[in-house]
Chain A
Amino acid sequence: AQSVTQLDSQVPVFEEAPVELRCNYSSSVSVYLFWYVQYPNQGLQLLLKYLSGSTLVKGINGFEAEFNKSQTSFDLRKPSVHISDTAEYFCAVSDVSSNYGNQFYFGTGTSLTVIP
């Protein structure tokens, strides 16, 4: 089974500043990688995903993430944040070769607070 680590539980950042949210996973087997965003009292919305190909993937709302296989990381970045980016962010990993076929493993989340 995979384990997913989001090292920062809370990240405060000033508006228009850059932000990076870190994510590491445990196993180096083939994986699919995802970032989701959750606004208060809402479900999870897909930000972006890595399935294969280019290690730099772009998502919605100006976010991008870079897959680093050697470091088993999938860090999320945005060059300039807005107040509306204040939310909880979850990293998730799915084993391509998992016998379960579709099991997702989620990190514990990073709470991003954008300060005016």
Chain B
Amino acid sequence: SQTIHQWPATLVQPVGSPLSLECTVEGTSNPNLYWYRQAAGRGLQLLFYSVGIGQISSEVPQNLSASRPQDRQFILSSKKLLLSDSGFYLCALQKRDEETQYFGPGTRLLVL
């Protein structure tokens, strides 16, 4: 079965600082990958999804970006963080021949 790793688990950053969150997967090849954000007390907001290396689709205009430099690596970045970027960031994968999305453990980001 597949495994999703997210790093770091928790991050506290000042406003205006850069950001890099990493998601790596094991146990599958060529999955679709997703970044979601979960604000406190709210549901999941899809930020980006990727169907392959270098292929990124953005769902919400924001100061965040995503990259997929390798098949099993998905990175979420920002050049300058905003207070509103605080939240719980979840990476998810979906295998090509399955209908289910599986989620990683998440990264808690607090922007001060």
A108-B94 in contact given A43-B103, A44-B103, A94-B99 (Cβ < 8 Å): no
Chain B residues near A34: list those with CB within 8 A.
100-101
A102-B94 in contact given A41-B108, A43-B103, A43-B105 (Cβ < 8 Å): yes
- Residue contact B42 to A44, C-beta cutoff 8 Å: no
Q: Type the 1/0 row for A48-90, where 1 means its CB is closer than 8 Å to any CB of B.
A: 0101000000000000000000000000000000000000001
Report the Cα distance A101→B55, complex, angstroms. 15
Interface residue B76 (Cβ < 8 Å from any Cβ of A): no
Report the Cα distance A34→B102, complex, angstroms. 11
Interface residue B32 (Cβ < 8 Å from any Cβ of A): yes
- Residue contact B100 to A49, C-beta cutoff 8 Å: yes
Chain A residues near B108: list those with CB within 8 A.
41
A43-B90 in contact given A32-B99, A34-B100, A102-B32 (Cβ < 8 Å): yes
Q: Type the 1/0 row for B28-55, where 1 means its CB is closer than 8 Å to any CB of A.
A: 0000100000000011101001010000
- Residue contact B43 to A41, C-beta cutoff 8 Å: no
A44-B99 in contact given A90-B44, A102-B32, A103-B46 (Cβ < 8 Å): no
Chain A residues near B4: list those with CB within 8 A.
43
- B92 smallest CB distance to A (angstroms): 8
A104-B46 in contact given A32-B99, A43-B90, A44-B90 (Cβ < 8 Å): yes
- Residue contact A41 to B106, C-beta cutoff 8 Å: yes
Residues of B within 8 A of A (CB): 4, 6, 32, 42-44, 46, 49, 51, 88, 90, 92, 94, 99-106, 108
